[in-house]
Chain A
Amino acid sequence: MDMLIKFLVAAVGAGTPLLFGTTGEILTEKTGHLNLGVEGMMSIGACIGFMVGYYSDNFVLALCFAALSGAFSALIYAFLTVTLMANQNVTGLTLTIFGIGFANFIGIFVLNKSPEGTLKLPEKITAAMRGIHIQGVSDLPVVGELLFSYSPFVYIGIFIAIVSAYYLNHTKAGLGLKAVGENPGAADAAGIKVTRVKYLNIILGGAICGIGGVYCSMIINGGVWISDNVGGLGWIAVALVIFANWQPSMAILGSFVFGALRVLKYYIPQSIFPFPIAFYDMLPFLMTALVLVISSMRKSSRINLPASLGLNYYREER
């Protein structure tokens, strides 16, 4: 029982960066733009957020800069694909390669300048990221640990996902966004400012991805900078969007399930399941591939794939 609770807690922690990436990409894809640069935007957010945290020792400032840098990298994507109508796949991939290269480059650059030879976050910010503790509530057996013991990131992530779900399903702006993703021509004719909606939501999505990135650099390795700290999570997030059926509320569930897959290897006794470690490392990717296949086999009308996903909108060709 104790082991199970530890496992679930670890799963939530491992799933949190995925939650940010997935929510951000859902908002992006709802505009009809498939941004394959999630990994890159997360890397840039991871790098800038970490460095700001390292020098300022201020958690909130680090978060803000992570979000801003993610938003800025999404702006590059938005400018190229919305205004200049560049190929979305290639632009996203380039953003990923650029973002990873940029993050590693800056990381090593700052590392070489540091006197200690490592980059470790200072004490105050580490304390701010630690699991919360509410007197009385967090001490409750089981419930306390399962619900009230996480790093603030977890609650921020869930909060953003719930707000995004509300925004998409219950506000006028969200309705406009979905209209743009389904049929930009019709949305344009209905008086929706297509370009503005696309820019806003792609940038918003990038900002959310940036926060997910800073989780990777500040938490996963215990506050020490290492290269490639996002390590493919951005790509899993892109796939999780399909798993979550383009619904932020489903993204919460999906992220934690995939988080569980990522930490499974530490909690499964080798004596019962003698699988090699490499198999557990492969598991999230294998599952994602399976999800892709299964969701494509199921030709249900309930799939919320935006109809214009991947197609650029040129006003004069509608």
Chain B
Amino acid sequence: MSNTAENLRKEPLLRVVKRAELPTGKIILLRLLAVLLSLIAGGIFIACVGQNPFVIYMTIISGACRSVMAFQGTIKLMIPLLITSLGVTLAFKMKFWNIGAEGQIIFGATCATFFALFFSGLNHVLLILIMFLSGFIGGGLWGLIPAVFKVKYNTNETLFTLMLNYIALHIVSYLRDGPWMDPGSQGFPKIARFDKNASLDKLFGIQFGWLIALILVVLVFLYLKYAKQGYEISVVGESQDTARYAGMNVKKIVLRTMFLSGGICGLAGMIQATGSDITLTTSVAGGVGFTAIIIAWLAQLNPFAILLVSFLFSVLEKGSSVVQSNFGLSTDCADVLQGIILFFILGCEFFIRYRFLFREGNHGTDTVKKEKEG
């Protein structure tokens, strides 16, 4: 008796226990609950700055979908977000922390711009194809640099990819201020607007990119789920030792995947530059690379979920610009809300895998034992 009392005293008030796998329905319910809580937290934030959260939320939704024009604007925002999220997903599946999507977008767009500026006389279809390829290869090479150092010297890829973002950014500002400066702009530093021949065509009133993005969703899904290479990515992501033991060439897989990951981000840059901006600016990426990381993570790296989440995020961003003009709240509101949502989802993952156990006397210790055996 005294022994149990001793044990009880030693046991902490609160402890964490792993739980058996939850059914999918319950997991989805937990995540929805987390989103709901995050919207409440976001609502409190909005209320703190003196606005009615319900009105703001309604304005966001109606602002993004109130007219055909507005909806087209939403889709236009979604294209780079969706493609980039798909790109970083490949790297994240491998647990390679590619946070350099910004740089890969910029460099891909820069390579495509080279052809748009200096080969604008080519046949339209051929030119677009060349720009497409150069965007992909440019982004891919930019992603390959940190991967090479990672496999060779185990250089921290998180920081390296990040530094490459700024380096790519300053390459563009160099080109803008010097060799690629628009001769017609009378010394104002900007790159010339692309020739009509070098810009993407429209399909249903929105640039062609949306179709490419949708095709990529399916391709990435098939690649990750059914291709041998996709399987290799997830094995390397789970455990490099296991992959090596199974005879996989881990270095090759890391390099190939980062090339693809960067390449897809580069495509997003090419599509943004030639489809939406019709020129190259330093804000061609404009934070998309970071938002894409949030999207990919919220969607649990599932391409179809990414489609849904990136749509919701574009609604949030488009809607927040309407909130800005109607209520004078800056569009940074979207970033704050995105951050809050992800905080809650990150927290909620814990409750899917673990649960808290309170000290509750004899009965409590029994359940702990059962939990351990089960």
Contacts and interface: CB of A to CB of B under 8 A. Distances in A.
B163 A292 contact: yes
B347 A86 contact: yes
Given A98-B340, A282-B170, A292 B330 contact: no
Contact of B18 (A36, A292, A297, A316): A316
Contacts of B349: 84, 86
B334 interface: yes
B166 interface: yes
Interface in B144-166: 149, 153-156, 158-160, 162-164, 166
Interface stretch (A3-11, A232-240, A253-261): A232-240
Contacts of A94: 294, 339, 342-343, 346
Interface string B279-315: 0000000000011011001000000000000000000
A315 interface: yes
B174 A80 contact: no
Contact of A80 (B153, B156, B297, B347): B347
Nearest to A86: B346
Given A86-B350, A97-B294, A293-B149, A109 B49 contact: yes
Interface in B1-29: 15-18
A128 interface: no
B339 A316 contact: no
B159 A242 contact: yes
Interface stretch (A99-107, A137-145, A171-179): A99-107
A89 to B, nearest CB: 5
Which of B17, B153, B173 gathers most chain A CB within 10 Å?
A: B153
Interface residues of B, number: 49
A36 B99 CA distance: 11
A288 B149 CA distance: 14
A84 B350 contact: yes
A105 B336 contact: yes
Contact of B332 (A76, A80, A104, A279): A104
Interface string B163-190: 1101100110110011000000000000
Interface string A72-93: 0000100110011111011101
B338 interface: yes
A97 B338 contact: yes
A251 to B, nearest CB: 16
B70 interface: no
B33 to A, nearest CB: 15
Contacts of A276: 174, 177-178
Interface residues of A, number: 50
Given A89-B158, A278-B177, A289-B164, A105 B332 contact: yes
Contacts, number: 144
B335 A98 contact: yes
A297 B99 CA distance: 22
Contacts of B350: 83-86
Given A102-B336, A279-B174, A109 B154 contact: no
A80 B297 CA distance: 15
B208 interface: no
A195 to B, nearest CB: 10
A97 B99 CA distance: 12
A108 B330 contact: yes
B359 to A, nearest CB: 15
A295 to B, nearest CB: 8
Given A94-B346, A282-B166, 12 more contacts: A80-B346, A84-B347, A85-B350, A86-B349, A97-B290, A101-B338, A108-B330, A235-B162, A239-B163, A276-B178, A281-B173, A288-B163
Interface of B: 15-18, 49, 97, 99, 149, 153-156, 158-160, 162-164, 166-167, 170-171, 173-174, 177-178, 290-291, 293-294, 297, 328-330, 332-336, 338-340, 342-343, 346-347, 349-350, 354
The 5 closest A-B pairs by CB, nearest first: A101-B335, A98-B339, A278-B174, A84-B350, A282-B170
9 contacts: A79-B347, A90-B297, A100-B332, A235-B159, A277-B177, A279-B174, A281-B173, A289-B163, A293-B149
